[in-house]
Structure 1
Amino acid sequence: MSDATIDKLQRRFDPEAASGMHEVFQFHFADAGDHYLVVDDGTLEVHAGEHADPSVSLSMSSETLRGVMSGEINGMSAFMTGKLKATGNVMLATQLTRLFPGH
């Protein structure tokens, strides 16, 4: 994941939406390696690598993530068409657009 993408995530993060949330979102990018987001009661940390016990794991291309985050790609349709694979608490994936609202 590029520094620009990480910066964008941190700028778009909505601490109020994450109030009381304690979750780890693991991302596996075919084209950008593994990264995970730790959302902890209104705070966000982005780390490279793999978390030992993520709440949900999402596999996709970084392009698909950008599309989902921008609203150009519907997350549920990406999941249904195989562009996005999720394991663990997959309902958490639906929270991403609330945590990172588009501007």
Structure 2
Amino acid sequence: MAVDIKKLFNEELPAALQKNAEDAKTIGAKYQMNITGEGEWFIDVSSTGPVCKAGSEPADCTITIAAEDFQKLVENPQANGMQLFFAGKLKVAGNQMLAMKLQKLFSYK
């Protein structure tokens, strides 16, 4: 089932972060998500967060991915994450180890 990317970043993720605020801060990073064809979002899950908002800000880890590839990533993060990364479809700038923590971020409900 396809994910509504704008709804995910504008409504669902911010609400989930508020519900899991203390645990989210343990991720300890700032992310910039650039999803081609959908938009850009800044996610702060450091001690100053948690925040998820539209726009672009300086981040520890920047993820750039096409919307259709992001759908694959959401469906199966473990299998598709590495596959997309090595195929050059999931670009990570900054601290690449932080990209591994994104799965925790998206596991909040």
- State the Cα distance separating 1:78 from its structure 2 match: 0.7
- For these two proteins, the number of residue pairs brought into alignment is 101
Task: Give the TM-score of the pair, scaled to structure 2.
Answer: 0.72
For 2:99 and 2:35, locate their aligned partners in 1 and report how far apart those are by CA, in whole Å.
Answer: 15
- Selected match of 1:22 from 11, 28, 39: 28
User: Per-residue CA shift, 1:8-64, capped at 9, x if unaligned?
Assistant: 32455554653433311111222012211111349531122210x210111101332
Cα RMSD of the aligned pairs, angstroms, is: 2.6
Moved over 4 A (4+): 11-17
Percent identity between the two aligned chains: 25
Q: TM-score, normalised by structure 1?
A: 0.75
Q: Name the residue aligned to 2:63.
A: 58
Distance in 2 (CA, whole Å) between partners of 1:102 and 1:18 is: 9
Distance 2:84 2:13 in 1: 20
Gaps of 5+ in 2: none
Q: What 5-or-longer segments of structure 1 have no aligned partner?
A: none
